[in-house]
Amino acid sequence: MFKLVSELLKETYNICKTLFRIMIPVIIAVKILSELGIVNILSSILNPFMKLMGLPGELGLAWATALFTNIYGGIIVFISLSDGLNLTVAQATVFASIVLIAHSMPVELQIMRKSGPRLRAMLALRMGGAVLYGWILNIIYTATDTLQNPLNILWAPPVKDTSWIAWAVGEFKNLVWITCIIFTLVVVMRILYALGLIKLMERILSPVLRFFGVSSRASTLTIFGLTIGLSYAGGMIINEAKSGKLSEEDIFFSISLLGLCHSLIEDTLLLMVVGGHLSGIFWGRIAFSIIIVVLLQRFIRTITPDFFHKMLFLPFKST
């Protein structure tokens, strides 16, 4: 029993060490840059893209906050701005959808990069995907006159203390929480392996995931990422990638799918309570993500391995 617990703790430590080496420096850098006003500069850059998606340019500040910090911060700014903008449910859904696709970029892009995909490729995928999806949603909702009723936000998160001490305590709690979740995932994976359920899940999910480029070897970690989040599954994928158990294509398609569509439960519920409609933030996002990854798969089949490595994926042996 002691040996088993020791093995579980060691595996959790290795995953957290990989993850926290990425997260902690980036979290500190983001806080410093945020204090220097980088979010406001980013919001002005996003202004024309917001209008392209049928949103008021002022909401660029809310998306910039979510991009640079996290979803929670973006929601606080969105709620503070929404009173004077006379938003519709459709607009709230478009905003919620782009935030779900592209948020917490400094941390999550580094996690994706450490898995192998190149930073510029993942940045283009998530930002381009968010704007494209927001634009499509706006066209659909406007053309069909859907969700055009006024937005009524029923819940607002409390405003956080923004002092450095409160920030440090909050981030420390987040890291502890992440550690607990990863330990739980490690235990769950061991149990599933012992019961033979991993192989069963792979057989069941393999045909579906293979359709958009994710092999059975990466299916379990991909499912974890889809349901609970990129950060948690990302650390496990990095370790699996470094071990050589996953092919470059497995990693690239899995990470691409997770970049567009992760944390389907928690994040979706969070955006739903501030006005996002399930048609856009859940069902539409899943369909859009699958289509994009299938198109990516077909595109990669047409390019040479050299181009793939030069533009899209950096093998671990080259890092």
CA distance 279 to 72: 21
- Taking CB atoms within 8 Å and a gap of at least 24, the contacts of 27-32 are 27/107, 27/171, 29/106, 30/68, 30/69, 30/106, 30/107, 31/164, 31/167
Other C-beta atoms lying within 10 Å of the C-beta of residue 67: 25
**pLDDT tens per residue across all 319 residues of the chain:** 777 888 888 888 887 887 888 888 888 988 888 888 888 899 999 999 999 999 999 999 999 999 998 898 898 889 888 877 899 999 999 999 999 999 999 999 998 998 899 999 999 999 999 999 999 999 999 999 999 999 988 666 666 666 788 888 888 988 888 888 788 878 877 787 787 766 676 666 666 666 666 666 667 677 777 877 787 677 777 777 777 777 888 889 889 999 999 888 878 988 988 899 999 999 999 999 989 998 998 899 899 999 999 999 987 654 4
Overall domain count for the chain? 1
CA distance 125 to 260: 8
Q: What is the DSSP letter of 292?
A: H
Q: What is the DSSP letter of 159?
A: P
Q: How many CA atoms lie within 13 A of 53 on its CB side?
A: 31
Non-local CB neighbours of 260 within 8 Å, separated by 6+ positions: 101, 125, 126, 129, 285, 288, 289, 292, 293
CA distance 170 to 292: 35
Domain containing 224 equals 2-318
* pLDDT at position 190: 79
Burial class (CB in 10 A: 0-12, 13-18, 19+), 27: buried
Dihedral class, residue 229 (left if φ above 0, else alpha if ψ from -120 to 50, else beta): left
Q: What is the dihedral of CA 157, 161, 162, 163, to 10 degrees?
A: -170
* pLDDT at position 319: 42
| Cα separations in angstroms, 190 against 17, 200, 241, 244 | 20, 14, 19, 20
